[in-house]
């Protein structure tokens, strides 16, 4: 297995089939302090009938004189319904202010647009690019900006957002065999299953009062789907039962608390009445004990 790439991003092109023949660009993404982007010709560039796809430096005309980058990269057209995909072989090229590299005929357009091909789902085409910088000539540094291109990190064979990576890594440390029998190989499906698992864990982390019985039932059904796909989630199912029991105990406790509060209210009312009777009797006793005065006798 070769060295892992430094950066992996996913470019989702919406309404692909209706795009004009003009070149289109992804949002820029940062690799080792420099902005890069993907460019594509939806109807092909001098190769009619094929998608043309390239990697290049964003705004390369504004770079300092003599600036160059030696990069290793791959470009992949993702099949969203199966393991099949079209990938350019790994390449190593020098990029400067006037060059771009890629493939002018990476995949036939009739294969992309074929019914149930898996390349177009809801009109969206997904492209994955992996980039690693091998050598640098000339300095330029840009900060990470807000982009609709989603960077992903590989965690045990799952392509995840950076915000998900730490949680999933910790989960694999606690449960190493969690995905040992997980069958789906398609990257998008694997990511979808893992995102669902994270959402289930996040939901179970709420307080019992925030969860309805329908929520717990939905989690149980979702766990069944994930177990059927090959996940080992006995530990999470056990936690679900614990949360369900806590919710049951909480509801029973709330009911008993309301009953006790009503009893206490009644007792306080009785005590208040009793205190009034006690004070009345004290007054009578005090009056009975008082000696008669001269005027009372005469």
Specify the range with the lowest mean pLDDT, choosing from 2-16, 60-74, 97-111, 155-169. Answer: 60-74
Give the mean pLDDT of the chain. 84
34, 122, 27: which is closest to 80 by C-alpha? Answer: 122
Specify the pLDDT at position 141. Answer: 52
Average pLDDT over residues 165-175: 91
> pLDDT confidence of 296, banded at 50, 70, 90?
confident
- Contacts with 42 (C-beta within 8 Å, 6 or more apart), sequence order: 13, 16, 19, 20, 21, 24, 51
Specify the pLDDT at position 239. Answer: 92
Backbone angles phi, psi at 91, to 5 degrees: -130, 155
The number of residues in the chain equals: 298
CATH 2.60.210.10 given to domain 7-151: yes
Please, how many CA atoms are within 13 Å of residue 158, restricted to the half-sphere of its CB?
A: 29
Q: Please state the separation of Cα 10 from the chain's center in Å.
A: 15
Backbone angles phi, psi at 13, to 5 degrees: -100, 115
Does the pTM exceed 0.85? no
128-157 pLDDT, tens digit each: 999 998 988 776 555 444 444 556 778 888
Specify the range with the lowest mean pLDDT, choosing from 62-66, 88-92, 229-233, 265-269. Answer: 62-66
Name the percent of the chain lying above pLDDT 70: 90
Residue 235: is its pLDDT beyond 90?
Answer: yes
Average pLDDT over residues 51-65: 80
CB contact at 8 A, 155 and 168: yes
Residue 189: is its pLDDT beyond 90?
Answer: no
Average pLDDT over residues 255-276: 88
- Give span(s): CATH 2.60.210.10, the chain: 7-151
Average pLDDT over residues 12-34: 87
Specify the pLDDT at position 22. Answer: 86
């Amino acid at each position: 297995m070769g060295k892992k790439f430094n950066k992996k991003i996913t470019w989702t092109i919406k309404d692909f089939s209706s795009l004009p023949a003009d070149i289109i660009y992804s949002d820029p993404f940062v690799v080792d302090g420099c902005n890069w982007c993907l460019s594509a010709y939806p109807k092909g560039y001098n190769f009619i009938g094929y998608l043309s796809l390239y990697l290049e430096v964003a705004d390369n005309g504004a770079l300092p004189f003599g600036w160059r980058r030696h990069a290793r990269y791959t470009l992949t057209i993702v099949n969203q319904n199966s393991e099949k995909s079209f990938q350019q072989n790994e390449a190593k090229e020098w990029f400067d202010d006037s060059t771009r590299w890629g493939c002018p005929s990476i995949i036939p357009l009739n294969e992309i647009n074929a019914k149930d091909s898996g390349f177009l789902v809801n009109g969206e085409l997904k492209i994955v690019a992996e980039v690693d910088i091998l050598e640098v000539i000339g300095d330029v540094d840009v900060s990470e900006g807000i982009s609709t291109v989603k960077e992903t990190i590989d965690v045990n064979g799952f392509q995840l957002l950076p915000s998900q990576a730490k949680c999933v890594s910790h989960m694999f440390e606690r449960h190493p065999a969690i995905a040992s029998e997980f069958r789906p190989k398609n990257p998008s499906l694997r990511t979808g299953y893992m995102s669902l698992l994270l959402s289930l864990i996040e939901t179970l982390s709420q307080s019992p009062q925030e969860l309805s019985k329908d929520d717990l039932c939905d989690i149980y059904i979702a766990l069944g789907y994930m177990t059927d796909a090959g996940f080992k989630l006995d530990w999470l199912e056990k936690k679900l039962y614990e949360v369900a029991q806590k919710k049951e105990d909480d509801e029973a406790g709330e009911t008993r608390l309301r009953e006790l509060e009503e009893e206490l209210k009644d007792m306080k009312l009785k005590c208040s009445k009793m205190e009034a009777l006690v004070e009345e009797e004290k007054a009578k006793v005090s009056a009975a004990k008082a000696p008669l005065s001269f005027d009372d006798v005469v």
